[in-house]
Amino acid sequence: MPPRLTKLADSLPATVPFIGPETLERDRGTAFRARLGANENIFGPSPQALQAMREADAEIWKYGDAPSHDLRHALAAHHGVGFDNIVIGEGIDGLLGYVTRLMVEPGDTVVTSAGAYPTFNYHVNGYGGTLSMVPYADDKEDLPSLIARANETDAKLVYIANPDNPMGSYWTGAEIAAALDDLSDGCLLVLDEAYFETAPLDATLPLPVEDPRVIRLRTFSKAYGMAGARIGYAIGAAPIINAFEKIRHHFGMNRSAQAGALAALQDQQHLAWVIDAVAAARDEIGRIARDNGLTPLPSATNFVTVDLGADGDLSRALVASLAKQGVFIRMPFVAPQDRCVRISCGRPEDLAVLEKVLPSALAEARASLA
């Protein structure tokens, strides 16, 4: 007899939101020369974080501290909030799963953007929620329409990433705060701020942490360069944060990763260096794109989305052609944004590889569609 899955689990496809670069490398039989598709921080974490993790590894036989006491206190002090306003999770991906588990029952409506971060959709589907999709407007998540759709559908959650992945655009914090005044009671705005550190200052949400209408998600995966450590955190009103204790995996946080994140947070000098390096890389990607007749879109993130001026067929062809030449990039998956490709910021040597192979890859992609 096969295992007796729940009806919901049995109805879902066995899939992952993204095919990882390691899987792609195994399929192609060799490593990529330039890994510019996963929005990782290729500049790396703070040396202090690496040292802290090496030292913590000596006690890896111990479970991690269940409440992440030291890291939570440090984050609370860093953001000027209370200890009870912070919860640690297994990256933003894990926290999105917890938020969904807390709020969504089978049949509940959840509003998001068509083409936005698919891992959120994965969790909503996994808990039986009903996704209501709102198209992008002018290559930007349509915040007013998201709020309106949430009100129309009596949604439990409405999700927006700010800055946005995959387009790199952003709303000001003041604009988001104003939009919340129109959100129906009982709906929670899930504000994914994975790229917060690389965004302009006016992206900061000017609302008190105890505002019950919003929960903010942050990560050490991007600017802090610790994607493999899986450390994220949520900032929110104490009653919302306390509810995570009902369902979260209390010993899910890696002990060494907790130590590394604490050390990374304390090394703001390295973070500032990374932010400068990301800005320089964005400029270089933009130059390379323009030199090839392409249009880089404004970006508040650690990647640049490049408009190819055609459609999704050309984007897919270019992604495949670049992969053959050892350069890993991605693309948005929903039209009309699929006319673009997304290129993560990299070191000068990574972008030199991109610059060298892009003209021939672009020619090959166009020829394949002729």
Region of residue 148 (left: phi > 0; alpha: psi -120 to 50; beta: else) = alpha
Domain holding 91, by residue range, is 47-267
* pLDDT at residue 94, as a whole number: 97
pLDDT at position 288 over 90: yes
Average pLDDT score, the chain: 97
* pLDDT at residue 1, as a whole number: 81
Last residue within a domain, chosen from 211, 232, 267? 267
* pLDDT at residue 253, as a whole number: 95
Same domain as 25, residue 125 = no
pLDDT at position 215 over 90: yes
Convert 147-184 to b/e letters by CB count within 10 Å (16 or more is b). Answer: bbbbeebebbbbbbbbbbbbbbbbbbbebbbebbeebe
Nearby residues of 39 by Cβ (< 8 Å), 6 or more positions away = 165, 222, 301, 302, 303, 342, 344
- In tens, the pLDDT along 74-126 reads 999 999 999 999 999 999 999 999 999 999 999 999 999 999 999 999 999 99
Same domain as 323, residue 242 = no
Q: Which two three-digit tokens encode residue 125?
A: 């589907």
* Residue that has been written with the tokens 């409506």 in this structure: 109
* pLDDT at residue 370, as a whole number: 87
Average pLDDT over residues 236-252: 97
CATH number at residue 244: 3.40.640.10
Same domain as 33, residue 113 = no
Same domain as 106, residue 19 = no
* pLDDT at residue 50, as a whole number: 98
* Residue 321, domain member (yes or no): yes
Same domain as 197, residue 82 = yes
Strand partners, 192: 161, 217
Same domain as 12, residue 151 = no
* Residue 280, domain member (yes or no): yes
Q: Which two three-digit tokens encode residue 40?
A: 């990782």
Last residue within a domain, chosen from 244, 267, 290? 267
pTM: 0.96
pLDDT at position 43 over 90: yes
| Residue 8 to residue 5: CA distance in whole angstroms | 8
CATH number at residue 34: 3.90.1150.10
pLDDT at position 321 over 90: yes
pLDDT at position 41 over 90: yes
* Residue 55, domain member (yes or no): yes
* Residue 152, domain member (yes or no): yes
Q: How many domains are there within the chain? A: 2
- In tens, the pLDDT along 140-197 reads 999 999 999 999 999 999 999 999 999 999 999 999 999 999 999 999 999 999 999 9
What confidence category does residue 17 fall into, taking pLDDT thresholds of 50, 70 and 90? confident
What confidence category does residue 18 fall into, taking pLDDT thresholds of 50, 70 and 90? confident
Q: Which two three-digit tokens encode residue 327?
A: 């350069």
* Residue 361, domain member (yes or no): yes
Same domain as 55, residue 39 = no
- In tens, the pLDDT along 217-242 reads 999 999 999 999 999 999 999 999 99
* Residue 1, domain member (yes or no): no
* Residue 70, domain member (yes or no): yes
Same domain as 74, residue 37 = no
What confidence category does residue 2 fall into, taking pLDDT thresholds of 50, 70 and 90? confident
Is the CA virtual torsion 354, 40, 38, 121 positive or negative? negative
Same domain as 154, residue 245 = yes
Same domain as 221, residue 111 = yes
* Residue 2, domain member (yes or no): no
Same domain as 108, residue 202 = yes
Same domain as 296, residue 183 = no
Last residue within a domain, chosen from 241, 267, 293? 267
Average pLDDT over residues 314-336: 97
What confidence category does residue 216 fall into, taking pLDDT thresholds of 50, 70 and 90? very high
